[in-house]
Structure formats: structure tokens, C-alpha cells
Amino acid sequence: MKKAFSLIELLVVIAITAVLIAVVLPNLLSARERARDAKKKQELNEMKNALRIYYNDYQIYPATPTENEHRVMSGCGINGTANCPLADGCEFAVKSASCTDAIVYMKRLPDFNGKDTEYNGWNYYQLGSGNKFVLFVTLENSGDKDIGESQKRCPSATYTNCSGIYTYCVCED
């Protein structure tokens, strides 16, 4: 007599495997989204700290760029009016054309490569008379509790698209 699995036993094993995959796979995918979102939030906060140091030096935050582009702000270069990021290796720096002589606020600005190419970068706006700013980025997880909290901390920034279920905002506090 041959010993083998019956058809019923094979179907039960396949069904259990399918249920496990259906439960585990979405959790793994959302964990990746949460990790990418955590990186975006952490890098925007690093940028906020660099902007505060810039403000301490100049008593004004960098200007809003004339172009409405993602991942661009003014305030770089020899006289502090060029758009950042600079291409010479110091992406947020002033007072020099070379990285070695410049005052470097951030060597590398955040560069997010999200799934939606239209909203894969951060946005920067100077607010008021230069004593406020807002940075914002689109997160992948609309259920992130930090989104609502960040928007409450930046009430003066609501007219700059710092609203919506996916938008995480950082301001001068």
C-alpha cells in the first residue's frame, strides 16, 4: 500500500498557506510604506534644524523659489540668492562657490523617490516677512497620526498646500 497525501489533505495545506499569505503580505507592504514615511519625516526635521541655523546667521529664512518646483529653495551660493540644491556637493551652502570655503548648512538635501512622481519631493515656502517657513511632503500612509499633528503645529501654512490626508508639514515652531 502506497503512502501519500490525499486530495483533501493537499487542499487543506494549500488553503492554510493562502490564508497565511493573505494575512502577512499586506502587513509587510505597509511596513515598507511606514519605513519610507519615517525616513521622510526624519529628513524634513533635519532640514528644519539646518533652516534654524541659517535663520540664526541671517535673521531671515531662505526665500521661496520663483519656480514652483519640488525639492528647491532659494538662499544658496556666493550671495545667498541662488536656488538650492547646489550642484557642487554642498547642496545647502552659502558664501562660496566651492564646498570647501562655504558655510554648509546641509551637505545633502532630502531626495525622496516615492511611488507618485508628481509628489515625490519636498516643498519649501518662506512665510510672513521671512520669520516663518513651512516644509511639506506627501506621505504614502494616510493613516499616519503624525499628519494631523503636523498640520496643527503649522496653522499659518494651510494656504501653502499644507493640508490633506497625505501631507506632512514641518514649520519653524
> Tell me: the pLDDT tens digits for 74-125?
888 777 778 887 666 678 888 776 677 788 888 888 876 555 555 567 888 8
The residue range of the domain holding 52 is 39-73+109-171
- pTM greater than 0.85 (yes/no): no
In a domain, 10, yes or no: no
* Lowest mean pLDDT across 22-26, 119-123, 137-141, 169-173: 119-123
Length of the chain: 173
In a domain, 114, yes or no: yes
- What's the rounded Cα separation, in Å, for the pair 165 and 143? 8
In a domain, 135, yes or no: yes
- What's the rounded Cα separation, in Å, for the pair 84 and 69? 11
In a domain, 8, yes or no: no
Mean pLDDT, residues 129-135: 88
In a domain, 140, yes or no: yes
Mean pLDDT, residues 134-144: 87
Q: Which three cell numbers stand for residue 139?
A: 506621505
Query: What is the number of structural domains in the chain?
Result: 1
Q: Which three cell numbers stand for residue 168?
A: 506632512
DSSP state of 77: B
In a domain, 12, yes or no: no
**Helix (H/G/I), strand (E/B), else coil: 66:** coil
In a domain, 54, yes or no: yes
- What's the rounded Cα separation, in Å, for the pair 110 and 112? 6
- What's the rounded Cα separation, in Å, for the pair 126 and 37? 24
